[in-house]
Amino acid sequence: MTVVTLELHGVTDKAAFMDRCARSLHFPEWFGRNWDALFDCLTDPDWMQGRGGWLVRVSGWQGYEAAAPEQWRTALAVFTDAAERWRDTATPLRIELTGQAHPTPGTSG
């Protein structure tokens, strides 16, 4: 399983969030930096191929949640939906929120 950290410290808007996702998760150049494109990349078999799954540890997310709570909820929904898509496969996707007291459905923390 490939383990990556998605560090969101200092992220306060969607554009910065998408840029961090693109860099940290090594998305292809065609990544459109919107919610649909995030889901498409997270569920793309070519992105997942040969890695035995992904564990994405999201840290420093609290500032983004405070600055843009609706965007953060959307990001969590996309992560949850993508993880669900891979759940019963040989290449699971897990999202772990670090520093969280109570796990969000579909994630661990």
Which CATH number is 92's domain given? 3.30.370.10
Give the total number of structural domains in the chain.
Answer: 1
Q: Residue 60 domain-assigned?
A: yes
Q: Which domain holds residue 56?
A: 2-97
Q: What value, to the nearest 5°, has the Cα angle with vertex 35 and ends 21 and 23?
A: 15
40 or 108, higher pLDDT:
40
For residue 40, CA distances in Å to 20, 47, 101, 102 come to: 16, 10, 29, 27
Report the distance separating Cα 61 and Cα 45, nearest Å.
27
Query: For 17-72, what is each residue's pLDDT tens digit?
Result: 999 999 999 999 999 999 999 999 999 888 777 668 889 999 999 999 999 999 99
Q: How many CB atoms lie within 10 A of CB 64?
A: 23
Report the distance separating Cα 2 and Cα 63, nearest Å.
26
Q: Residue 80 domain-assigned?
A: yes
Query: For 75-86, what is each residue's pLDDT tens digit?
Result: 999 999 999 999
100 or 108, higher pLDDT:
100
The shares of helix, strand and coil residues in the chain, as percent rounded to the nearest 5, are 45, 15, 40
Q: Residue 92 domain-assigned?
A: yes
